[in-house]
Chain A
Amino acid sequence: MGIDELRQDAIAMTRWEQHKFFVLIAGVILLSTFLVSVALSLYNSSGAAQLDLSRPGFQEVRKQASRDTTTKTFPSTGTLDKAALDNFSKLYSEQAAKVSQTQGFDAAALSEESLQLLNADTTANAQQVQ
């Protein structure tokens, strides 16, 4: 096909045919943006964001997150003899003890005594330092 033939074909093309490729690229970008928006919306609304320690601000605590690979699953089938009941009792006590050791989300952390938001002494100390 010579260059003249190509030029003639180009002139004969409709507007749609001329912009097909651009429309394809724009459509793909729009579709990707839409799907990413849906994914981000689900990420925030489902509560997964609160469990994601890879977010900025969690660098210091990331390594402290425990990954429980040691707790055995109590078998859901089998007889309920003394050995099985004792086994469950041991497993349950271990896990319950771990939970009870944690004083979760007590009010003291955000109290006025802790945050000192309305404390005039903080201002006075800052002025003395200056």
Chain B
Amino acid sequence: MYKRLLIVCAVFLAFTGPVARAEDFLLTDEHIALIRTNCVSVQSALQRIHASDGLMRVNLGQRYETIATRLMAPMNSRIALNRLDNVAMTQTTADFNNVIRQFSTNYQQYEQTTLKAIEMNCVDQPVAFYDTITLARSHRASVHDSVSTLSALLKQYGTQFDAFKTQVLSTNGGVK
């Protein structure tokens, strides 16, 4: 009986022995050593990425706001004032504004996670550092999804406007 117990324990330890779990990826001692060695240079790379991401966020955010407030909103207002109907464009504008807010939230999460990875003592906490990088990747993917959705909505609004323009010009020759 003791023999069976020892065998079960040995099998158990063999599978849960000197490894650390990080998300779904199993980090071995070798991986942890590599992380300790490489993490300082990775943190330098992260700092550069963090800076360029900040710039991209500011520039992209500015462009989105410009499009939403200086183009979409006035056009929708003008359509309504001319008593023309285009619910689809209004809906697309609302969706665009919602996704801009989502983009802002997603970026905030991503930036805070990246900053945490940069400021962490990665030599003392290699597993936590790896987990933070993995989380940052996931958050970056969310930001990328928001950007893709915003691009799709821009195209959609453009297409809807072209259809609206064709309709208005063909039926009325323009509203005067």
A-B contacts, CB under 8 A, total: 172
* Structural contact, A95 and B84, CB atoms closer than 8 A: no
B contact residues around A38 at 8 Å (CB): none
Q: Knowing A78-B78, A96-B154 touch, does A60 contact B140 (C-beta < 8 A)?
A: no
Q: Knowing A88-B71, A98-B63, A109-B140 touch, does A80 contact B174 (C-beta < 8 A)?
A: yes
Question: Does A17 reach chain B (CB closer than 8 Å)?
Answer: no
Chain A interface bracket (under 10, 10 to 19, 20 to 34, 35 or more): 35 or more
What is the interface size of chain B, counting residues whose CB is below 8 A from a CB of the partner? 71
Question: Does A51 reach chain B (CB closer than 8 Å)?
Answer: yes
Question: Does A50 reach chain B (CB closer than 8 Å)?
Answer: yes
Residue-wise interface mask of A (99-130) relative to B, using a CB-CB cutoff of 8 A (1 in contact, 0 not): 11010111101110011111110110010000
Interface residues of B (CB under 8 A from A): 31, 34-35, 37-39, 41-42, 45-47, 49-64, 66-67, 69-71, 73-75, 77-79, 81-82, 84, 104-105, 107-108, 110-111, 130, 133, 136-137, 140-141, 143-144, 147, 150-151, 154-155, 157-158, 161-162, 165, 168-169, 173-176
A-B contact pairs, 7 of them (CB 8 A): A61-B54, A73-B71, A78-B78, A80-B168, A81-B174, A98-B63, A107-B137
